[in-house]
Amino acid sequence: MSPSVSGTEEVRVSALTPLKLVGLVCVFLALCLDVGAVLSPAWVTADGQYYLSLWMSCWKPASSAKWFCNFALNTGETDAHVPFTDWQIATLALLLGGASLIVLAFLMALISLCIRSRGRCYKPVAVILFSAVVLQVCSLILFPIKFIETVRLRMYHEFNWGYGLAWGSTIFSFGGAILYCLNPKNYEDYY
């Protein structure tokens, strides 16, 4: 950081304000949580006899030791008695769409940090992150509503850690978007 003198006024120019660095960390955490949520085998669990994730639905009849699974994108015959529905595919598509936008925002933020193009990429990163938040919130609201509406479990079930990771990712994405919205010109002199 080198100060430049313009008349009698000293202006500091920094490559990255702490707010943007925290924003970058938030986006990275959102990306990690999204990966965990997408790969999670447990979005819904029920008494050790039923597991539902974004990719498959598995259940074990009480009279059997064998698990039966239905994969989301499987078009062939399965052991499943309930095929994946459109809302499950839509949830997966919305969440993956949000995750891909988070990847894009992270790469843009990282590249802007490396080439020191500070202000040019902040607004696009914020817009991309807000778009990812909208997609993910839609998927996370759609999932429990349609699950409760269509899946009839006669046992206690709960939304598990995979679903929680997806909410965590959404919250960190929103935080990163807010931090990238803050105008660095107004705060730069304080850092």
Q: Pick the residue with more confidence: 63 or 117? A: 63
Domains and CATH numbers, the chain: 17-41+84-152+160-190 (1.20.140.150)
**Residue 42: alpha-carbon gap to chain centroid:** 16
Quick: pLDDT tens for 108-117: 888 887 776 6
pTM of the model: 0.77
**Per-residue pLDDT for 102 more than 80?**
yes
Cβ contacts of 79 within 8 Å, gap of 6 or more: 68, 69, 70
Distance separating alpha carbons of residues 56 and 136, to the nearest angstrom: 19
Can you tell me the mean pLDDT for 57-78?
Answer: 70
- Band (81; pLDDT cuts 50, 70, 90): very low
